[in-house]
Structure 1
Amino acid sequence: MTRLPTRATPSATVKPRGRVGRSRGALMIRSWLTRLSPLHSAFFSSQRRLTPAELEHLRRGSQRLTFRGPVNLPLVGGPLLPLVEVHLNGRGPYRFLLDAGANVVSVHQRIADELNLRVVKRLRTRRVCQVEILDLGPACFQSALVVSEMRLDVDGILGFNLFREGLLTLDYPRQRFRWGPGALPITDDATLLTYELRERMPYVPVQVDGRTVWCNLDTGARPGLIVPLGSRHAWPVVAAPDSGPTLWNQHEGHIPTQRAQLSVPLRIGPVEIHHPEVLFSPALEDECLLGSGLLQAFTLTFDLAAQRVRIQAEPAG
């Protein structure tokens, strides 16, 4: 995905069919993919890379969406890596990551070459390509603009920008992805949260130690909670942080982290999580991420039009 400046989304490296691997002797974490930001938009325009119309098309993901029925697909990447199978121009299936921590659609350069995708623009290190038909089960995206990436560790990424209407459910416990018409009820239900779209990605308020921290629901990250290293003194922990996993970023390379256990609960709406592990990352500056390591116990249902999300835990027993 494309964004400047870099932001990081950790999770274990997946080879092109979802196999976990290592590289250069360090624990490989899913490429901390980049997202399209206003700064990157300025880069595009100043370098005369994308026209305003092309940039808007890339932000929307596709020109047209048609449903042949509700989407109900298995998640095929395991509990920490929500992958779904898609078809591009009738070919596939390819395994794409459902990533609410991304705001453009990306495809591995290998697949772009394999399908001979039409290149809309050649950027410095990437290409913007056009996919005529992207099929996600019975949902059909027509004329989708995607960014090809040489160093993706999955076949592709479905950014949150692609989903703009209906109810979208990521059911971690049952390993299902559902999407179709509908809306969450207008009620004071405590399980409902209003989320903010920031650069077309969902952020929710999280309560910790009497303060509110806005976190991206980063379904593309395997760890549970990732926060800036510079903010470590603001997070109450059981003991001083020790060495955490080495993360990897396509721009910075290998990034050491620190890890600790919170000494206070983390609350997301009605959900209270006791003493979760937190990773402190030097690659993050001012945003916090809730990854699949923490979200895997819940079902997330997004009302895309109303910008509300229901977070439900699996019933005990």
Structure 2
Amino acid sequence: MIARSVILAFLLVLAQSTAMQNVIEIANSGEFSVLNTLLEHTAEPEGEPFLQSIFQENRPLTLFFARDAGFSELKASQYLAKLMLPSYRMHLYSLMSYQIADQSMKEVLEQPSNQNKRFSTQNLCGANIVIYRETDTTITVDMDNNESPAAMGNPIPTSDNAMVVPTDNVMFPDWITMDLYAFMLEHDAYTSISTFTTFSSLLVAGNMDDTVRESTDLTLFAPVNQGLSNDLVEDLLERPDALTDFLKHHMMAEVFNVRDLTEVQLLHTVLGECILANPTEKRGVLIGESQLKGYQLVREGVLYKISDALIPPTWR
């Protein structure tokens, strides 16, 4: 029984390796050179290559490979080069995960084109995908009700569980066109619990909302409403200079990647002060004395949701 288990494990690893190698060969075919370059730069937080990690488990996968022309918008904005920077590793990982469905398209391929049955799944980021066959050679991909240009031609099987679908355009996550300030406003507009309304109001009062909108590389630590006391807010609104300093202390003029944080790191704010980012076992990541509650990627950087306001050291 042990020998049989070893043989089965070996065959499984061989099948995974073969599927991954087939995908790599397709990516290297010349038609997907931009995507291939992005894949080569994409890695897990632990440093493991992206493709290797997703093929470790024997699960069905559909990989949507955009042809080079599909990246024209990113090239024109020079954002493509930015995705290669270490500080944008989270963005690149998200973009690549967005192109992969955690399910095979076999059901879609086997149905007659005149049935046009819609097939629902999700990508590795959790976004909804609806796939349906329009003609014998055209498959359309609908991402969260935002229709993507049709995937032309039949998918390319790489194994029993994986296949590559050539597409006309790369599929964009919401953050690719979302700026920090817009995210805070939309988050509070479309959720039942307002989260950033107080901090957003302070940005407007301190004339810093345009600074946030126009930044090209920015990390913003946004305290939730409960983390900003009425007394603190009233005091800041009465002292414009203090309000400006307070807001600058919640910003970094670079992209801070929390997924790379393995030990205490000193962060430099726009104010010129320092705060500690500390990965603790019991409380998770602490930014100063504030607990990190989550993050949202946006086009120009990242927004971190924190539990409490960050008070400049010189105020104490």
* TM-score (structure 2 length as normaliser): 0.30
More strand by share: 1
Q: Of the two structures, which has the highest relative contact order with CA contacts closer than 8 Å and spacing of 6 or more?
A: 1
Which protein is richer in helix relative to its size?
2
Larger Rg: 2
